[in-house]
């Protein structure tokens, strides 16, 4: 938990450092506060406020996400929401993200999704067990090959430690345990429950 969240200087510094243009206005469109990028866009408020209806956002507690808008020759995605405050119930936060930046982020996300899909395919179709644990040896993920080689379904292993599984004889020795103890990569022959050898 963050220490002293009510520190007004911290809040102000955070607000001013935001990379997106942020403007806080009241229901009449009067400027209450803005970061540097937002201040430059505020002068064009009459041009774009008609399309988003500030009064509706306040009265209906309406949320707008990614509304395409053109301001001074630049395309933006505008998000708007009423400020969630008991004291300031008629304020609206407007956030402007340049469409080119949003487009680049979207493209990057598509590439990440494709990479994740590729890794998922490799993970699930490997004949070897691919095993993922945290720094304490707790099983986070394991490929479905564990069912063939160890006689255990992934859900029977996830959340359990390599120490427990080794003690139960699911495999022995545990390459993960040895790697954690030595603090480096290891390659060993581990004997699964069925008795067939498996390289780790």
pLDDT for the residue 194: 52
Q: CA of 14: how far to CAs of 2, 5, 17, 78, in Å?
A: 13, 11, 5, 20
Q: Given this model, what pLDDT does residue 154 score?
A: 93
Q: Report, as an integer, the average pLDDT of 48-67.
A: 73
Closest alpha carbon to 40 in 99, 98, 91: 98
What CA–CA distances, in Å, run from 166 to 160, 171, 172? 11, 5, 6
Reported as a single tens digit per residue, the pLDDT across 133-191 is 999 999 999 998 898 888 899 999 999 999 999 999 898 888 899 999 999 988 887 77
Residue 37: pLDDT over 90: no
Cβ atoms 162, 177 nearer than 8 A? yes
CA distances from 120 to 92, 150, 159 (A): 42, 20, 20
| Per-residue confidence (pLDDT) for residue 6, from 0 to 100 | 52
Please state, in angstroms and rounded to a whole number, the distance separating the CA atoms of residues 71 and 198.
62
pLDDT of amino acid 49: 64
Q: Over the stretch 114-128, which tens digit does the pLDDT of each residue have?
A: 888 888 888 888 888
Q: Angle at the Cα of 198 (from 140 to 142), degrees rounded to 5?
A: 15
Q: Is the pLDDT of residue 5 over 60?
A: no
Model pLDDT, residue 153: 92
DSSP β-bridge partners for residue 97? 77
Q: What is the pLDDT of residue 109?
A: 82
The pLDDT tens digits for 66-111 are 888 888 888 888 888 888 777 777 888 888 888 777 667 777 888 8
The total number of residues written for the chain in this structure: 200
- Interatomic CA distance for residues 159 and 106, integer angstroms: 33
Instruction: Please check the confidence at residue 9 and state whether its pLDDT lies above 80.
Output: no
SS3 88: coil
Give per-residue burial for 126-135: e unless 16+ CB within 10 Å, then b. Answer: eeebebebee
Quote the tokens at residue 159: 């959340």
For the full predicted model, state whether its pTM sits above 0.85. no
Q: Which residue has the higher pLDDT, 43 or 194?
A: 43
Q: What pLDDT is attached to residue 20?
A: 83
What domains does the chain contain, in order, with CATH numbers?
Answer: 9-101 (3.30.450.20), 123-199 (3.30.450.20)
The per-residue pLDDT for 196 is 45
Burial 23-45 (b: 16+ CB within 10 A, else e): bbbebeeeeeebbebbeebeeeb
* pLDDT value for 157: 95
């Amino acid at each position: 938990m963050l220490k002293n969240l009510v520190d007004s200087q911290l809040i102000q510094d955070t607000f001013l450092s935001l990379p997106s243009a942020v403007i806080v206005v009241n229901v009449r469109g009067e400027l209450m506060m803005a970061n540097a990028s937002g201040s430059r866009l505020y002068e064009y408020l009459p041009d774009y406020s008609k399309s988003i209806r500030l009064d509706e956002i306040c009265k209906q507690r309406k949320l707008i996400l990614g509304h395409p808008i053109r301001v001074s020759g630049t395309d933006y995605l505008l998000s708007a929401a009423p400020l969630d405050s008991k004291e300031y119930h008629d304020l609206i936060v407007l956030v402007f993200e340049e469409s080119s930046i949003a487009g680049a982020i979207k493209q990057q996300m598509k590439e990440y999704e494709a990479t994740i899909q590729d890794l998922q395919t490799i993970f699930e179709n490997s004949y070897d067990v691919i095993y993922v644990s945290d720094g304490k040896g707790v099983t986070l993920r394991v490929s479905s090959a564990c069912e063939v080689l160890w006689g255990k379904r992934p859900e029977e292993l996830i959340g359990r430690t390599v120490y427990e599984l080794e003690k139960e004889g699911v495999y022995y020795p545990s390459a993960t345990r040895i790697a954690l103890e030595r603090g480096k990569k290891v390659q060993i022959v581990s004997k699964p429950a069925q008795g067939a050898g498996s390289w780790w």
